[in-house]
Amino acid sequence: MFKRILIANRGEIALRIIRACKKLNIETVAIYSVADKNAEHVRISDHAICIGQAPVSESYLNIPAIISAAQITKADAIHPGYGFLAENAKFAEICEKSNICFIGPNSASIALMGNKISAIKALQAFDILPVPGSSQTNTLDLAKSEAHRIGYPVLIKAAFAGGGRGMRIVKNATDFDLAYHEAKIEAKHACDNETIYIEKYLNEPRHIEFQVISDHYGHVELLGERDCSIQRRYQKIIEEGPVTNIPMAVIQPIREKLKLATQKLGYHGVGTYEFLYQDNTFYFIEMNTRLQVEHTVTEEAFNIDLCKWQILIAAGKPFQMTTKPLRYAIECRIVAENTKLGTPSPGIITKIRLPGGANIRIESELYQGIQITPYYDPMIMKVIASGDTRADALINMRQALNELLIQGIDTNISQLQLVLNQPWFITQAIHTNILTAAKEPMHEIPA
């Protein structure tokens, strides 16, 4: 077992990893930028080391500084969390060569499955089909030819970027050239890689993802599915699970194919296969080779600590646990932003009051007086509500958001409350474009 783990991240996920380490009696090392010197993960970690200035290029993406911090503090493993370097194959490879365990799949698996194009090709061998198109286009002419072949509207996507960066919907050939160049520039800025591909744009799909966990001894388990269809600007804002309203005859074959693919591809650790689902058909879009932001939905539904098991598997332990959903869970992401303008809302938290009671879980680093900076992702909290049924979980979530109070900055709390009370959300008549398509006055939620 590891003696000391360096956490190459910040915010709520850094706290989440620290808690998992404490369960396993493992010391933790927090890294932080100058802007995060008063962060909660720095305070509660066993050790802490500043690695640079506020910009991510000088801190949380600074590979030499992070490796040096691990060596100085004698950490024998690094947990990347999500975002930043979590799916950076080069970083994982450097960890391997430095005799530091990277808590996640090996660098080869990240290189294969972290690239959307190669991941699509890998899963096609197991009869897991992508959205029509889904092929790399190295030039503008090839991209236009592919768009013409599959028919408009199409979606231009970055092969390596996430969170909707490097994505453009193109409805006709006239708009294609500009969208193509914009997507490449945005992809380059987001992840220093401008590789893009073209796929058919689906108008009203659901976003369904499959949580997988796999050890080094051939044990692979799929821990249900999550519905992440409520999104704005390609960013998930509400997630829930397990998914119960898709026919078993449709979903079970996908489960079996994914389990086989995970085994044959030699993937170890936790991961998430993401699909679009429309007209009783699943279309594979990407794999996340890391812990998801919304892993807490599965944890509450299955009564499992995915972060702890991620560490145990990296340490060579076999996965041994009965996996059956026991409850229903819903997660809301609280974001520091002006929802009318769609812009971040940095500032100082002047007052905060958290919800309580049974079946409510809060993942956050907030406290009164903390400075929310403009340098990092604006998500500041996750609220997870669970219950015996979806209806119970929804009641609990509504009450939690009613109790939650955050002052000093703008947030999306009232907008989440609005969504939770929409008839289409209550009946699960949802899809990824629902915030745009809703007939109700949803003007305060830019889609």
CA distance 427 to 242: 15
CA distance 312 to 202: 39
- Distance set, CA 342 to CA 235, 378, 385 (Å): 12, 11, 26
* Phi-psi domain of 81 (left: phi exceeds 0; alpha: psi -120 through 50; beta: other): left
328 with 386: CB under 8 angstroms? yes
363 with 384: CB under 8 angstroms? yes
Q: Which positions are annotated as active-site residues?
A: 290
Residue 416 in tokens:
């989440």
The strand pairing partners of 330, in sequence order, are 240, 385
CA distance 91 to 102: 9
25 with 39: CB under 8 angstroms? no
413 with 406: CB under 8 angstroms? yes
Residue 203 in tokens:
């108008």
Residue corresponding to tokens 């936790």? 270
How crowded is residue 99: how many other Cβ atoms within 10 Å of its Cβ? 8
DSSP code of residue 151: -
